[in-house]
A and B are shown apart, each in its own frame.
Chain A
């Protein structure tokens, strides 16, 4: 099975925590550590925002990430850039192959219109949750709010554009056990929501469960796949590393 292809060595393991489908999470990942996101059911979507934990005005920047690497999606070898020319984290392993960068998150109205109402009063913790409110709740825990929400990454979701720019959601992108490893190049506040992707056409509210696993990846060497993916990344990694000299 794919999930056993690359087990994390026990001596590098840091911690593990479940993120049930629909739920939200935030925490600090430090430089030299990695976070593995595992899609347990094959239907996960993990909307993610990243902030420099030491200066939260510095944050993940979708356009800078895309422009630097001439890509519209994320997979192995890609760096996630801040708006200040630094690499917040990079994709060092990916058994999935495509993560969306442009479609944003679901909101309360969208989830209610698409899946019907399921409140805490009637459904307890099986209530329907939406991506925007999940992110806002987590951001609030760090003194952040609406002004800090920028276009996010959506791990495990694939949306393809045709020549005219029309978007098509690929339901077969992920599978049970698919994982993506993010290595942190700075000390980063990570904010996650596992609510459904906003363009997922499936009519039932069934966001997949996710496992978060942190481990000691170490910092990138001279031969690193992300550093050497392009000349832009070599400069980006250099500018990030001088912060820690």
Chain B
């Protein structure tokens, strides 16, 4: 097993300017200003948090899984990873991570992909892409299905083998683990707290997560 580079945060939840709980199966949409620090905390463990970022001023620029992987020459996200945009700019930098590995290849679940992956009759089950669409339908930013691209799955472990296989492994997260990132531009964050019940990405029991934001530390 590869050893993870675990980095703790100096920030105290008491000083956060945003401190909210996102229940399992809910979306969450929020702007994070340049310099602010954003934490996602896995309250009960092994909970996948499907996350997209857009440049808040020009959402045609958005998080790019392929550019992030290409820029760091590595598949997994952890402390030190720069989350890259489609325009080749750094959107956020992961500054702390007590989990150690996050996925950006596995995408978000949908009704349609569930029918392929599990069974044709899974279509009615709640899914991340339905949550994304629900949130965007009530958001006045002009974003639509067209803007839903490959996301980050915080706390999810999707190892790729040297032979090119892809597996959904048991989560590496646990209650209280968190990942924290500093915004390098004003970003709109769109989260689906994953409702998937058909595979172990949420340990078959989707649970709430906590999101916190701190203002930029004064110099």
- A residues apposed to B, CB below 8 Å: 57, 61-64, 66-68, 70-73, 81, 83-86, 98, 102-105, 107, 109-110, 145-152, 160-167, 198-199, 232, 235-236, 238-239
Interchain CB contact under 8 A, A147 and B105: no
Interchain CB contact under 8 A, B107 and A62: yes
Provide a sorted-by-A list of 20 A–B residue pairs whose CB atoms are within 8 angstroms. Answer: A61-B113, A62-B65, A62-B105, A64-B110, A68-B116, A72-B105, A72-B165, A73-B164, A83-B129, A102-B105, A107-B88, A146-B61, A151-B150, A161-B74, A161-B75, A161-B160, A165-B101, A167-B73, A167-B74, A199-B73
| Closest chain A CB from B161 CB (angstroms) | 8
Q: Which residue of A lies closest to B69 (CB)?
A: A102
Interchain CB contact under 8 A, B107 and A72: no
| Closest chain A CB from B30 CB (angstroms) | 21
Interchain CB contact under 8 A, A67 and B106: yes
Interchain CB contact under 8 A, A109 and B88: yes
Interchain CB contact under 8 A, A232 and B164: no
- For A238, the chain B residues whose CB sits under 8 A away are 120
| Closest chain B CB from A173 CB (angstroms) | 11
Interchain CB contact under 8 A, B150 and A63: yes
- Residue among B70, B108, B120, B165 making CB contact with A70, cutoff 8 Å: B165
Interchain CB contact under 8 A, B60 and A166: no
- For A72, the chain B residues whose CB sits under 8 A away are 105, 160-161, 164-166
Our count of residue pairs bridging A and B at CB distance below 8 angstroms stands at 135
Q: Range of interface residues on chain B?
A: 35 or more
Interchain CB contact under 8 A, B73 and A166: yes
Known: A67-B107, A164-B2. A151 touches B162 (CB 8 A): no
For the complex, give the distance between the alpha carbons of A224 and B143 in Å.
Answer: 39
For the complex, give the distance between the alpha carbons of A63 and B92 in Å.
Answer: 22
Interchain CB contact under 8 A, B166 and A64: no
Interchain CB contact under 8 A, A64 and B115: no
For the complex, give the distance between the alpha carbons of A238 and B149 in Å.
Answer: 25
For the complex, give the distance between the alpha carbons of A198 and B120 in Å.
Answer: 38
Interchain CB contact under 8 A, A83 and B105: no
Interchain CB contact under 8 A, A165 and B117: no
Chain A CB within 8 A of B134 CB = no
Q: Which residue of A lies closest to B148 (CB)?
A: A83
Chain A CB within 8 A of B178 CB = no
For the complex, give the distance between the alpha carbons of A150 and B161 in Å.
Answer: 23
Known: A151-B150, A152-B66, A165-B160. A235 touches B116 (CB 8 A): yes
| Closest chain B CB from A88 CB (angstroms) | 13
| Closest chain A CB from B133 CB (angstroms) | 12
> B94-109 vs A: 1/0 string, CB under 8 Å?
0000000100011110
